[in-house]
Amino acid sequence: MRIAMIGTGYVGLVSGVCFSDFGHEVVCVDKIATKIDMLKNGQVPIYEPGLDAMLEKNVAARRLSFTTDIVEAVAGADAVFIAVGTPTRRGEGHADLTYVYAAAEEIAHALTGYAVVVVKSTVPVGTNREVKRIVEKARPGFAFDVASNPEFLREGAAIEDFMRPDRVVVGAETDRAREVMRALYRPLSLRETPMVFTTLESAELIKYAANAFLATKITFINEMADLCEKVGGDVQDVARGMGLDGRIGSKFLHAGPGYGGSCFPKDTLALARTGQQFNSPIRIVETVIEVNEKRKRSMVDRVLAALDDRVAGKKIAVFGVTFKPETDDMRDAPALAIVPALIGAGASVAIVDPHGRKEGEAMMPGASWAEDPYEAAKGASAIVVITEWNMFRGLDLRRLRGVMAGEALVDMRNVYRPDEAVAAGFAYSSIGRPAVGPLARAAE
Ligand code: NAD
């Protein structure tokens, strides 16, 4: 089948590359000419493990190509995917659908025969119907269908998620559209991946409900972590004991500095706004948003407390700033709430992150960047672990402590074992676990 993928960001690029790997003929379109130029030269503009090799393979097989010309890409396509961004509308929280509707308009004029216009972007309920209206208005009487096909891939594991998803969700209104969607995902149905066919509205809601539920799970365990700290529990034991219950599951039960990233913050906000708009408020999600915002800010207080509120003039080494490991994505990363606050309090911050610098440098002005954790820690009064990249797991803690001027280690991802950190000479604090060593002694 022939596919045009409009929007070549994280989702569009990964989906396009994977669809071409299924054997379909895919043309990826983006407005940003430099991005398309890079891709034409075999360079991948984002960091996503395994993507470059798969891209190269499918370009070589002539199934995958890139263009800025939407008319050329859409001509003769069986399916035209919209995978453009749906950021938060400035100042309020609703999803900004400008890019989706602009793409729909452009696609409408470029269609040359029957095609399914598939909305892959995460969009609020009612958007697919509006896309249908836009195309109908631009091309009265033209044969086409609209389908909602939300994407559930995770950055950092995007290829695996696309190739082996838990399910594929499709909202569609005609048998013809369902047939096209079935054909596109046939390689997955051979692997017995469930396909959930539903209405446009339900498909739109499934995506928001799933993301809001996962954000709620994270926020729940974060609040349990706070309680653990007050009463002497260990949140990791609590999470394990809860997560082994098959009705709950162990995923998304890792306490930390609060959720961030390109999806959860904006999607929880958009769902809450939809609830309010339809006079059906989703109070759990509204609370989750509030608790998570407070949590990111409260992380700054933890660092200040570890330094006895005296940070001015001190060096702080920050380990990891991307919103999670295995991605270079900085969107709404907790680090963006923490690092500028530390700099504002007078600290000099040295960041080490294997892929965060390209995006993060302009977002955290005033910070310096190091290639190596020991270099970042040299002369520092504190180390703060914000993102749990693997490179931080196997560090020699004694050596690390040895190059520092101070002793504070604030581990927001529970990467280290408290006993080992204390044995290496750190005043160690982590999330939802009993404090040990000098900090515990100070609290006694
Ligand atoms: P992104 O910002 O990385 O990419 C969007 C791309 O679309 C940009 O490169 C932009 O230049 C391009 N674009 C915008 N309008 C265009 C047009 N008219 N023609 C051609 N190109 C155009 O966004 P993303 O992270 O890939 O997210 C896309 C959608 O997928 C969002 O709705 C998001 O919520 C959803 N989603 C994202 C993820 C994720 O992990 N990033 C996961 C699931 C769903």
Q: Would you state the pLDDT for residue 349?
A: 98
Same domain, 300 and 400: yes
Ligand 1 test: best mutation among 86, 127, 262, 271, most atoms within 8 Å of CB? 262
How many Å apart are CA 77 and CA 232, to the nearest integer?
Answer: 60
- Spacing, Cα 119 to ligand 1 middle (Å): 11
Nearest CA to ligand 1 atom 18: 103
- Which residues does 134 contact at the CB level (< 8 Å), separation at least 6? 101, 104, 105, 108
Burial tier of 219 (Cβ tally within 10 Å: 0-12, 13-18, 19+): buried
The answer to the question of residue 203 being in a domain is: no
**Which residues are known to be catalytic?**
263
Q: Would you state the pLDDT for residue 436?
A: 66
Strand, coil or helix: what is 174? Answer: coil
Burial tier of 49 (Cβ tally within 10 Å: 0-12, 13-18, 19+): middle
Q: CATH code at 369?
A: 3.40.50.720
The answer to the question of residue 279 being in a domain is: yes
Tokens matching residue 126: 């009612």
How many Å apart are CA 15 and CA 25, to the nearest integer?
Answer: 12
Same domain, 414 and 344: yes
Same domain, 85 and 108: yes
Nearest CA to ligand 1 atom 38: 11
| 8 Å CB contact between 79 and 112 | no
- Spacing, Cα 122 to ligand 1 middle (Å): 9
- Spacing, Cα 393 to ligand 1 middle (Å): 32
**Residue indicated by tokens 């030269």:** 41
Same domain, 370 and 231: no
Shortest CA distance to 417 belongs to which of 253, 228, 236?
Answer: 236
Query: Which of 260, 289, 318 marks a domain boundary?
Result: 289
Same domain, 219 and 147: no
Q: What is the pTM of this model?
A: 0.95
- Spacing, Cα 273 to ligand 1 middle (Å): 21
Residue 34 carries which side chain, given as an amino acid letter? T
Q: Would you state the pLDDT for residue 90?
A: 82
Boundaries of domain holding 234: 208-289
CA distances from 240 to 217, 236, 386 (A): 14, 6, 22
The answer to the question of residue 70 being in a domain is: yes
Residue 8 carries which side chain, given as an amino acid letter? T
CA-68 nearest atom, ligand 1: 20
Q: CATH code at 268?
A: 1.10.1040.10
Same domain, 282 and 295: no
Query: Which of 267, 289, 311 marks a domain boundary?
Result: 289
The answer to the question of residue 297 being in a domain is: yes
Ligand 1 test: best mutation among 5, 6, 11, 51, most atoms within 8 Å of CB? 11
The answer to the question of residue 230 being in a domain is: yes
The answer to the question of residue 144 being in a domain is: yes
The answer to the question of residue 214 being in a domain is: yes
Count of the separate structural domains present in the chain: 3
Q: Would you state the pLDDT for residue 441?
A: 46
- Spacing, Cα 121 to ligand 1 middle (Å): 7
Ligand 1 test: best mutation among 29, 30, 47, most atoms within 8 Å of CB? 30
Same domain, 113 and 171: yes
How many Å apart are CA 192 and CA 222, to the nearest integer?
Answer: 35
- Spacing, Cα 191 to ligand 1 middle (Å): 28
Same domain, 246 and 126: no
Q: For the chain (length 444 residues), average pLDDT per consecutive 10?
A: 98 98 98 98 94 98 98 98 95 92 98 98 98 98 98 95 97 98 94 96 98 98 97 97 98 98 96 97 98 97 96 98 96 97 98 97 98 98 98 97 98 97 97 71 46
Same domain, 237 and 124: no
Same domain, 342 and 221: no
The answer to the question of residue 433 being in a domain is: yes
Same domain, 103 and 162: yes
Strand, coil or helix: what is 336? Answer: helix
* Pocket lining for ligand 1, CB < 6 angstroms: 6-12, 29-32, 35, 70, 83-86, 99, 102-103, 106, 121-122, 151, 153, 155, 262-263
Pairing between strand 168-172 and 145-148?
antiparallel
Same domain, 263 and 302: no
Q: Would you state the pLDDT for residue 444?
A: 43
Nearest CA to ligand 1 atom 30: 121
Query: Which of 198, 227, 247 marks a domain boundary?
Result: 198
Burial tier of 58 (Cβ tally within 10 Å: 0-12, 13-18, 19+): buried
